[in-house]
Amino acid sequence: MRRFLCLYWVILGSLLGLSVPISASAADRVALVVGNGAYRYASELPNPPNDAALMGRTLAGLGFDVIQVIDGDQRALLNALTQFGRAAQNADIALVFYAGHGVQVGGRNWLLPVDVHVEASTDLPGQAVRAEDLLEIMDASGARLKLVFLDACRNNPLPRSLTRGTTRGLARLDAGTAGTMIAFATAPGDVASDGTGANSPFTTALARYIRQPGLEVRQMMGKVREAVYDETGKRQLPWVNEALIGEFYFAGLPQTAATPPVTTPPGTTPTAIAPAAADGDPSASAFALAERVGTVAAYDAFLSRYSDGFYADIARAARQKLVGEGASAGASETTDTDTGDQGNIVVVNTAPAHLDPPNYGNGTCVARTVGGSHLTYCSSSVLDPQYGNRYGPGNLTDGDRATAWVEGVGGTGTGERILINFGSERRFAGIDITNGYTKNKSIFTKNGRVRSATVRLSDGSSYDLPLSDTMNVLRKRLQRPVAATWMELRIDAVYDGSKYQDTAISELIPVFAD
């Protein structure tokens, strides 16, 4: 399992709804979600864009207005911080999620944009974002709730000549103001695992428990801590520093709690999490909160507490309407199992609109014409020639089941990638993939096959791709085409070969709708 020094930032909000007087221009729940992985002058990171996409969808489903940045350069990151700071003015909840490179130098933490190019320690202030400055933005916004999670789990990207002043992991940050929580995915100064799947253990657990009704935020972090600790073989233990006042719930109150009070700092007005029901029916106020958020997750939280009665019937009808609208909008067949209508997501991306394709360094690239389309195939590794056979990415388009691309790293090939550059913007509709080495049944079973993968597109979106263990062609389609200039497939899990660890794919053809 690979280990990294990284920085994830999450400033988490709370509950199903928080009734607090705010200015007319302020949003109730605001989130900044950043996932930086395609670094130009530092080692690439596979998981941050996936982690940011997962958290963006999860938070939008909980009613957050999400400002999202995928592979943001310095300009995009600073613009997003400005937009977030303005949106968070007097908000109920301010939330930030950052996944990507981060370093500690001289006891100070820095977040790194994808275009950072550090040749001297004096370059950091001009090219990176100081973590403490982000906290100051949140404090200045006047947001009621400011919860921070730091996941120190990426490799140090600085040149060897500059590592003298660096320290493992990240420096401790204190929750200095009321209504703030700061949590590391592991202990300050320690390192954490990036995991072997599409998401880090920390993000996986966070996205799971943040949607669970009845979990107060501190209890939720306890479950996240336990899940990460177990998943990493007791090597990674998240750490929390908090100055919270009152109780906060992301996905609704517990069944035993009606309207717990929220204590506020001196000089502010005490409020309640849920208003009292005018007609004496507690389900009325809970339904009002669900209706205010207006997502599938909100109605699910309500129905988990109140499964019978008039409001339960109305909640089911409202939920069904949202599900129907979501289906007509066209979700991908390969998306994960998130539930909930998506909130407002404003994507702040790097310019141009499409991300630069990843650079595999010493990987192999070949040009191919497939169905009249001029494409370039690249792979992060290739198995060395054996017995006169070659295993490069050109085999993915030759229509010959007796040839295959085979990854060339030690182990099962988890994390290895294939890039298809379209050459221009196309309406990407899906892929046809022939899994494994399909020369014959014996060779197919002796070598590894892809169990699951992640497909990432140039617009920053990504899709989970589960694959059957079959020699047949698998046709995977999006329900709605996406404008893209390239696609990348990354191996997340494999079916083990009976004799060899090498993982193979015989054919991989993109399908376009234009």
Higher pLDDT, 147 or 438: 438
Does residue 354 fall inside a structural domain? Answer: no
Helix, strand, coil abundance in the chain, percent, nearest 5: 25, 30, 45
The confidence score (pLDDT) of residue 505 equals 97
The confidence score (pLDDT) of residue 153 equals 57
Whole-number Å distance between alpha carbons of 153 and 37: 13
- For residue 134, what are its two tokens? 């982000």
pLDDT tens for each residue of 321-374: 766 654 444 333 333 333 334 456 665 543 346 788 888 876 689 999 988 899
- For residue 237, what are its two tokens? 């233990």
Does residue 286 fall inside a structural domain? Answer: no
Whole-number Å distance between alpha carbons of 309 and 296: 19
Whether residues 109 and 190 share a domain: the answer is yes
The confidence score (pLDDT) of residue 275 equals 30
**Packing angle between helix 201-209 and helix 217-231, nearest 10 degrees?**
140
Question: How many other C-beta atoms are found inside a 10 Å radius of the C-beta of residue 472?
Answer: 9
For the full predicted model, state whether its pTM sits above 0.75: no
Q: CA dihedral in degrees (167, 170, 171, 175; nearest 10)?
A: 180
pLDDT tens for each residue of 101-127: 878 777 788 888 999 888 877 888 899
| Average pLDDT over all residues of the chain | 77
Whether residues 343 and 436 share a domain: the answer is no
Burial of 50 (0-12, 13-18, 19+ CB in 10 A): buried
Burial of 372 (0-12, 13-18, 19+ CB in 10 A): exposed
Whether residues 376 and 268 share a domain: the answer is no
Q: In what helix (H) or strand (E) does residue 222 lie, and over which residues does it extend?
A: helix 217-231
Higher pLDDT, 189 or 16: 189
| Token pair 């993000």: residue | 203
The DSSP symbol for 255 reads T
> pLDDT at residue 154 above 80?
no
Whether residues 339 and 436 share a domain: the answer is no
Whole-number Å distance between alpha carbons of 209 and 145: 19
Our count of domains for the chain comes to: 2
Whether residues 343 and 369 share a domain: the answer is no
Question: How many other C-beta atoms are found inside a 10 Å radius of the C-beta of residue 145?
Answer: 28
| Token pair 């719930």: residue | 249
Does residue 321 fall inside a structural domain? Answer: no
Whole-number Å distance between alpha carbons of 85 and 131: 14
Q: How far is the first Cα of the chain from the last one, in angstroms, to the nearest whole number? A: 41
- Residue 447 confidence class, pLDDT cut points 50, 70, 90: very high
Are the C-beta atoms of residues 503 and 406 closer than 8 Å to each other? Answer: yes
One-letter amino acid for residue 250 of the chain: F
**Residue 63's domain is classified under what CATH number?**
3.40.50.1460
Q: How far is CA 462 from the centre of its chain?
A: 9
Whether residues 387 and 239 share a domain: the answer is no
Q: What is the DSSP string of 461-513?
A: -EEEEE--S-SSEEEEEEEEEEEEEEEEEEEEEEEPPSS---BEEEEEEEEE-
Whole-number Å distance between alpha carbons of 208 and 204: 6
Is 166 strand, coil or helix? strand
Whole-number Å distance between alpha carbons of 73 and 70: 9
Whether residues 342 and 422 share a domain: the answer is no
Whether residues 370 and 483 share a domain: the answer is yes
> pLDDT at residue 144 above 50?
yes
Does residue 335 fall inside a structural domain? Answer: yes
Instruction: Supply φ then ψ for residue 257, to 5 degrees.
Output: -110, 125
Average pLDDT over residues 461-481: 88
Last residue of a domain, one of 297, 319, 347: 347
Whole-number Å distance between alpha carbons of 426 and 171: 44
Whether residues 399 and 266 share a domain: the answer is no
| Token pair 């730091």: residue | 150
- Residue 171 confidence class, pLDDT cut points 50, 70, 90: low
Does residue 312 fall inside a structural domain? Answer: no
Does residue 441 fall inside a structural domain? Answer: yes
The helix/strand count (H/E) of the chain reads as: 10, 23
| Token pair 């703030």: residue | 180
Last residue of a domain, one of 347, 380, 399: 347
pLDDT tens for each residue of 49-74: 888 888 888 888 888 889 899 989 99
Instruction: Supply φ then ψ for residue 184, to 5 degrees.
Output: -90, 145
Q: Name residue 83's beta-bridge partners.
A: none
**Residue 400's domain is classified under what CATH number?**
2.60.120.260
Q: In what helix (H) or strand (E) does residue 124 lie, and over which residues does it extend?
A: helix 124-127
Whether residues 341 and 407 share a domain: the answer is no
Whether residues 378 and 469 share a domain: the answer is yes
The confidence score (pLDDT) of residue 509 equals 96
Does residue 76 fall inside a structural domain? Answer: yes
Whether residues 417 and 341 share a domain: the answer is no
Does residue 320 fall inside a structural domain? Answer: no
**Residue 437 belongs to domain spanning:** 364-512
